[in-house]
Amino acid sequence: MKRFMNSPDKYIDEMLEGILKAHPNRLRSVTEDRRAIVRREAPIQNKVGIATGGGSGHLPIFMGYVGRGLLDGAAIGNIFSSPNPSQMLAVTKAIHGGKGVLYLYGNYDGDIWNFDLAAELADAMGIRVESIRVADDVASAPKHDQDKRRGIAGLFFAYKVAGAKAMSEAGLDEVVQTTKKALAGIRSMGVALSSCSLPAVGTPIFTIGDNEMEIGMGIHGEPGIERRELLSADEVTEIVLTKILEDLPYRSGSEVAVLVNGLGATPKEELYIIFNRVFDLLHMRGIRVFRSYVGEFATSLEMAGCSITLMLLDAELKALLAAPASTPFFCQGHDY
């Protein structure tokens, strides 16, 4: 696989240097290794701090959502690898504004291990930390085992809700409660058309036939639930959306937010072809689309494919979703 890099061992460092040079008024590093990135203005006094973290290779996830109305900081790991506890602790200390810190991240073993340890260390320093793991991928475990599900693009909706809630002067318990309410109604599922490769290896992380797709594929190449011949966009959309809708009582009269997310190499043109079908299928079921997001929100390097995410809304969640936000990778104004 051809890619723009100098050497695999400099990939993350040079990416981070580039991000910090491109956005010096908005982001800064609080460690020498640049693996702990926070908002320029952190800590913000009397605001709950929100930290995330995870492996690299998923931009804008994770650090792309550090900014106004969203997150306060992110710990950055190597490609598809968890950051370590000291990186997360450095973020925590830098963003703590006196009201505690929420760790909001994807449900992966390495991250849980490292961030739980960071939370203990923070606690010992007098910083209260609460943790919420996003587990939105319905393909990754059955409903009765949903605590084992992986976190994928639904992270974006979780960040948006938590970030806006924290702007409202809410305390840590309130931010936790509202974010958990949102997560109870967030479901995602993906489909991959091609693999990505790791910069250090250079060969695809999985193989897939020239006319095949993998339904339910994870963003690190974790196996999906079915491999089959590539179907039409409408058929693929119906398969994925049906799985999502079966998992939750999205009923006629429900209002939802929709995210059609590109995994890396899929053109935006095709994400909108998929969105077009999502919208129609929801409309047929009497489900109203309050807001739509289409683009690259959680990627897997140069993987071709997409995921669909729904979030069930109530009045509070609608207001939080609609609140303005601005980071170097995401911006939403009052006029949406």
Active site residue 144: no
Query: Given candidates 74, 162, 274, 313, which one binds its own copies under the rule CB under 8 A?
Result: 274
Please say which residue, 146 or 292, places its beta carbon nearer to its own copies: 292
> Of the residues 23, 58, 144, 283, which is catalytic?
58
Does 119 engage in binding with its own copies (CB under 8 A)?
A: no
Determine, following the binding rule CB under 8 A, whether residue 265 of this chain makes contact with its own copies: yes
Which two structure tokens, joined as six digits, stand for 233? 């966009």
**What sign for the dihedral angle of Cα 148, 66, 175, 308?**
negative
Q: Does residue 81 bind its own copies (CB under 8 A)? A: no
Least separation in angstroms between residue 117's CB and its own copies is: 27
Alpha carbons 78 and 264: distance in angstroms, whole number = 18
| 56 scored as a contact of its own copies (CB under 8 A) | yes
Integer Cα distance of 65 and 74 in angstroms: 9
Residue among 130, 50, 37, 117 at smallest CA distance from 85: 117
CB nearer its own copies, residue 100 or residue 199: 199
Residue 19, interface with its own copies (CB under 8 A)?
Answer: yes
Q: Which of residues 295-334 bind its own copies (CB under 8 A)?
A: 295-296, 299, 301-302, 304, 306, 324, 326, 329, 331-333
End-to-end, the C-alpha distance of the chain in Å comes to 38
Site string for its own copies, 209-248 (x = CB under 8 A): -xx-x----------------x-xxx-x------------
158 lies in the site for its own copies, by CB under 8 A: no
Contact 155, 183 (CB under 8 A): no
87 versus 194: smaller Cβ distance to its own copies = 194
DSSP assignments along 26-83, one per residue: TEEESSTTS-EEEETTPSPTTS-EEEEEEEESSTTTTGGGBSBTSBSEEEEEEET-PP
- C-alpha distances out from residue 163 to 56, 70, 121, 322, 336, Å: 21, 4, 24, 12, 17
Q: Are 225 and 262 in contact (CB under 8 A)?
A: no
CA distance 212 to 230: 5
Rounded distance, CA 194 to CA 329, Å? 25
CB 31 within 8 A of CB 90: yes
Query: How many of the chain's residues bind its own copies (CB under 8 A)?
Result: 66
Residue 130 vs 270, nearer CB to its own copies: 270
Does position 15 bind its own copies by CB under 8 A? yes
- Minimum CB distance to its own copies smaller for 13 or for 314: 13
Single residue of 30, 273, 281, 319 touching its own copies by CB under 8 A: 273
Catalytic residue among 23, 220, 283, 334: 220
State in angstroms the smallest separation of the CB of 37 from its own copies. 12
Q: Are strands 129-134 and 101-106 parallel, antiparallel or unpaired?
A: parallel
> Do you know the residue count of the chain?
336
294 lies in the binding site for its own copies (CB under 8 A): yes
334 is an active site residue: no
Among the residue ranges 80-88, 115-123, 135-143, 290-298, the one whose residues contact its own copies (CB under 8 A): 290-298
Q: Which is nearer to its own copies, 211 or 252 (CB)?
A: 211
The residue ranges that bind its own copies (CB under 8 A) are 2-7, 11, 14-19, 21-23, 25-26, 56-57, 59-60, 64, 68, 193-194, 210-211, 213, 230, 232-234, 236, 264-276, 279, 289, 292, 294-296, 299, 301-302, 304, 306, 324, 326, 329, 331-333, 335-336
Catalytic residues: 58, 220
